[in-house]
Structure 1
Amino acid sequence: AHSKLTLVYYGLLLIGTLVQLSPYWLHRRYCLMRSPRTLNWVGYCGTASDGGNEIGMAVLSEIDLKLALDSTAGIENGSDIVIINDPLAYGNFFTEFLCRNRLCVLKGFCKQWKSSNRWTTKNVVTEKLEINTAYLRNNFGSAIVPVANCNRFHFNSHLKENMIFLTYLDYLEQACVKDLLYLKDWHFTKVFPGYEAYQVPVYFSSDWLNEFCDAHMKDDYRFVYIGPDNSWTPFHADVFRSYSWSANICGRKEWVFYPPGKEKKLLNMDYSLPTDVKATKTYEGDGDKIVFLQEEGDVIFVPSNWFHQVTNIGKTISINHNWINGTNIHYVWNHLKTSLEEVKSAISDCSDASDWQEQCQILLKAVEGIDYFEFYKLLKCIGELRVLLLQNSLTTGCKTNVNHALFDLIKIDRILKEAVYSGEMSVKNMCCNELKEYMKVETEIKEFINKFGL
């Protein structure tokens, strides 16, 4: 693993030296195959992710703040998947599944979506749902889409290329094809912002990652997948160790999950994980794995650090998000710290260089898609927005989302305290002025927590 990181590092330095490209450009090129994207989140406090109907964010104020904080202190993870057939109160889902990092599936939760009804059609003979390629052609056919070849690899990922959507639909309709092509990470709503494909389930609406991306970047972590039978995603944990949710619009998916920590027994001699876990010698008799068949209309919640592999059964369409919030931000922070230590170890022979710390951050961003500076920007952005919400609450007397905002601030405060006072967020990683800005936000957060008696 270290040799691969070193190779990537020197490759990035060489490219940057030759063509004088910015670290951000290098990061985007390197991570092009890795970064999931799509669908237009408008804001935390009131609008649905498709810009359409209001979610009813008052529901979020129903969380029990003390219970939520206690729940995150005693994380369970679980060893099985929980089936949810009927809607839960938001507060119950928050404490039982988000706070405790528990795997679950919401049965039939996306059958009323526009995408579920217009992107599919019922076969009059089999009475089964199929992809409505005619509708997709007529409405979105000229779009450029990212497509992965499941038969060809680039490092530990499938090789990708861009394709006109009409061409991909032609491929999808062929009875016998040589390559196994999977449309992945399509920024559908970014390309078609006026099309309301779906509504984010309220349980997943506290989304720091996409809230931050919408405020500061053009990219996001909302995307659409379309694939033929047997197309698949290799064994992995989600980007940044974020949460993810996946809604099946058409077709079925076979998921193979490993609870956090159980993936370690699958490590190869070089400490890498298998690309295809089903090809390992111990797979069939492995009692730790959880295999689940996701049906049409099901929405799966994948918690942080749950490694998984997904295979499509029949032609499928799914809508997916990656997201971060106060219940899993510590997983993200711990993963980022671990990744930085791996980077430092991989290029330790360069540690005498005056800009070694900065180069470590550049490589961290290239490998993980985020560096310390970007992570602190996220915390600062969300912290400022929650402080603003609480300021408005004190002024107007409105209590909507107060508990949720306080929960978020407490979680941010804990991360910032550890980062600042442990030396992790040092002037070696960020310049003095930026460090002062983050400490100012941390001070404001503490003041508001105290104002509310916490």
Structure 2
Amino acid sequence: MSLKIGGTIEKVNGKELFYSEFAEKYLAGNQPVLLTGLMDDWIASKHWVSSNGQPNIIFFPTHFGKSKVQVADCDTREFTDQKRIEMSVSEFVNHWLQGSKENHDVNGKSVLYLKDWHFVKEYPEYQAYITPLFFTDDWLNLYLDNYHMHDDLDADRVSNDISCSDYRFVYMGAKGSRSWTPLHADVFRSYSWSANVCGKKKWLFLPPQQFNLLFDRNMKNTVYNIFDDISETEFPGFKKAIWLECIQEQNEIIFVPSGWYHQVHNLEDTISINHNWFNGYNLSWVWDLLLRDYKEAKEYIEDIKDICDDFEGLCQRNLAANTGMNFNDFFIFISRFSLANVVELYYLRGELNSENSIWHCSAIIEHFALNLSSIRKTALKMKSEGVKGNLGIINLLETLSDPKFLKLCTGLGRIYSVIREEENWSCTMKKALMADFAKYGSQVCSPEDLITFIDYAVSKLSSNCDEQNPLLSVLYEIQPHEQN
């Protein structure tokens, strides 16, 4: 069955693109884009690439040879992914070099593809690259630098992928039609970006609005390889799918939005750097996709509902296994970030607000307000869609005393000082700036609690502001003349 290609991905010079333009068109719009001009100064672009433009493959066993990595056997399917093998970087490079001599893609031997190498975590002192400005607003990896996505250790053991400490990866794959990644949407239904340090890839994209075309009649199995001979009887909607195609060259970065299904093939020997991430711009997308996946997971096991002691708990465990997190994980995540954004606003008020002028002139204030607005709207969605009860307890005062949370706050502050190009912030303890919340004293346990907390915090922050207040205007979408 031939694919319907409906167009290509837009290519933009990243040096000529303002952050605000990228955020509005691609982050908020949830649209893919190919960016150029952002990798010129990367150490990886020098150390990892030979003078002829090919991967400097020998560099890796020399400097990182003992690292244990996950390698995909591209010819062997295991459930919805490729079979994974653990080996050292040296072993992988030896296999790569042997394959180059014997042309494995032709003679039928296994094609191995190194994936999900947690390079940043393993070698923090070796700064292979600088995350481009457009992707630095990364709540996911900031969070995982300080917390597990699952507090339940048993849940962590369900899947190594789910319990990973970060989602900043290096990939290495040889050229050929059999060096590839099967059709999928990214873990957590996050954004992702992928930078080709060297080599060339072919991407095929399908937007989330068409995801149902990829499933079989029972909505239980999805297409694995879009270039297989797909049965129209088993997958009746697949032939209606309209794909976007993208050829990614060396030194180009592709942005993959939330929930977009994609399949990727290495057209040349390729080394890439990849991040999964999300932030305030796509929280609503993440929630919508998480809810959709929950309903599918629930329907899938509906026939055992009457004999299951904890059917809802089973649904949530299946959801976490399939997407990387469940409702509880997501709620704890957005609750901690709501408090972190509030802490930063209190800190800025104490540092900068000798007069109330900062509440209408500082772009960074507006960005924190946008973050809170996104969290609040997402909580409202959760509430309106019937998500009730205790999703997890966030005790405000205990959280403020947690060193991990203070590190989260400091990291969040550093992110926005870069994006907004304002003065670097000091590492002053933020806890003292939350004295107001000693009186609040509530635990945040539900979407309704979270909405109440955000409203309370904003009212406190705005209580002494007589001038136009961007917190109120952004959070509640109030026009200036309504602020009386």
Q: If the length of structure 2 is used for normalisation, what is the TM-score?
A: 0.71
Q: CA deviation at 1:263?
A: 4.3
Report the equivalent of 2:270: 316
Report the equivalent of 1:153: 77
- State whether residues 81 and 103 of structure 1, in contact with CA within 8 Å, keep that contact through their aligned partners in structure 2: yes
- Describe the superposition over 1:352-376 as per-residue Cα deviations: whole angstroms up to 9, x where unpaired: 6443322322222222221111111
Structure 1 residues 395 and 351: CA distance shift in structure 2, 3 A? farther
Which segment is superposed worse, 333-342 or 196-205?
A: 333-342
Structure 1 residues 284 and 422: CA distance shift in structure 2, 3 A? closer
Q: CA deviation at 1:134?
A: 2.4
Q: Give the residue type in structure 2 aligned to 1:389.
A: E
Report the equivalent of 1:84: 12
Matched, 1:366 2:312: no
Q: Give the residue type in structure 2 aligned to 1:402.
A: I
Alignment partners' CA distance in 2, 1:259 and 1:79: 12
Q: Give the residue type in structure 2 aligned to 1:138.
A: T
Instruction: Please show how residues 15-414 of structure 1 align to structure 2 within 5 Å.
Output: 80-85=8-13, 86-123=15-52, 129-174=53-98, 175-176=101-102, 177=104, 178-217=109-148, 219-230=165-176, 231-271=179-219, 272-280=221-229, 288-348=242-302, 349-351=304-306, 353-397=308-352, 399=362, 401-414=364-377
- State whether residues 111 and 117 of structure 1, in contact with CA within 8 Å, keep that contact through their aligned partners in structure 2: no
- State whether residues 104 and 302 of structure 1, in contact with CA within 8 Å, keep that contact through their aligned partners in structure 2: yes
Alignment partners' CA distance in 2, 1:215 and 1:284: 41
Matched, 1:415 2:378: yes
Structure 1 residues 253 and 80: CA distance shift in structure 2, 3 A? closer
Alignment partners' CA distance in 2, 1:314 and 1:453: 52
Question: What SS does the aligned partner of 1:301 have?
Answer: strand
Alignment partners' CA distance in 1, 2:42 and 2:337: 29
Question: What SS does the aligned partner of 1:133 have?
Answer: coil
Higher relative contact order structure (alpha carbons within 8 Å, sequence separation ≥ 6): 1
Q: Give the residue type in structure 2 aligned to 1:342.
A: E
- Describe the superposition over 1:54-94 as per-residue Cα deviations: whole angstroms up to 9, x where unpaired: xxxxxxxxxxxxxxxxxxxxxxxx96522112431111111
- State whether residues 393 and 444 of structure 2, in contact with CA within 8 Å, keep that contact through their aligned partners in structure 1: no
Which segment is superposed worse, 345-354 or 400-409?
A: 345-354
Alignment partners' CA distance in 2, 1:381 and 1:136: 38
Q: Which has the greater radius of gyration? A: 2
**Percent of aligned pairs with the same amino acid:** 33
Q: Give the residue type in structure 1 aligned to 2:86.
A: N
Question: What SS does the aligned partner of 2:146 have?
Answer: helix
Alignment partners' CA distance in 2, 1:335 and 1:93: 22
Alignment partners' CA distance in 2, 1:432 and 1:112: 42
| Root-mean-square deviation over aligned CA pairs | 2.6
Structure 1 residues 359 and 258: CA distance shift in structure 2, 3 A? closer
Q: Give the residue type in structure 2 aligned to 1:336.
A: L
Alignment partners' CA distance in 2, 1:151 and 1:415: 41
- Describe the superposition over 1:392-443 as per-residue Cα deviations: whole angstroms up to 9, x where unpaired: 111112636211111110111112233246541324x557989942455533
Structure 1 residues 94 and 219: CA distance shift in structure 2, 3 A? same
Q: CA deviation at 1:233?
A: 0.4
Aligned partner of 1:446 among 455, 461, 482? 455
Q: Give the residue type in structure 1 aligned to 2:202.
A: E
- Describe the superposition over 1:130-182 as per-residue Cα deviations: whole angstroms up to 9, x where unpaired: 11122212111111111000000101210001101101111111222311100
Report the equivalent of 2:409: none
Question: What SS does the aligned partner of 1:277 have?
Answer: coil
Alignment partners' CA distance in 2, 1:122 and 1:197: 18
Structure 1 residues 197 and 325: CA distance shift in structure 2, 3 A? same
Question: What SS does the aligned partner of 2:75 have?
Answer: strand
- State whether residues 133 and 169 of structure 1, in contact with CA within 8 Å, keep that contact through their aligned partners in structure 2: yes
Q: Give the residue type in structure 1 aligned to 2:174.
A: P
Q: If the length of structure 1 is used for normalisation, what is the TM-score?
A: 0.76
Matched, 1:437 2:437: no
Alignment partners' CA distance in 1, 2:306 and 2:281: 35
- Describe the superposition over 1:247-299 as per-residue Cα deviations: whole angstroms up to 9, x where unpaired: 00011001111233234334334433321112246999988222211000000
Structure 1 gap ranges (5+)? 1-77, 124-128
Alignment partners' CA distance in 1, 2:212 and 2:241: 14
- State whether residues 259 and 289 of structure 2, in contact with CA within 8 Å, keep that contact through their aligned partners in structure 1: no
Question: What SS does the aligned partner of 1:130 have?
Answer: coil
Q: Give the residue type in structure 1 aligned to 2:374.
A: K
- State whether residues 420 and 426 of structure 1, in contact with CA within 8 Å, keep that contact through their aligned partners in structure 2: no
- State whether residues 336 and 394 of structure 2, in contact with CA within 8 Å, keep that contact through their aligned partners in structure 1: no
Q: Give the residue type in structure 2 aligned to 1:119.
A: W
- Describe the superposition over 1:227-255 as per-residue Cα deviations: whole angstroms up to 9, x where unpaired: 11121000111122211110000110011
Structure 1 residues 375 and 202: CA distance shift in structure 2, 3 A? same
User: How many aligned positions are there?
Assistant: 371
Q: CA deviation at 1:201?
A: 0.9
Q: Give the residue type in structure 2 aligned to 1:445.
A: I
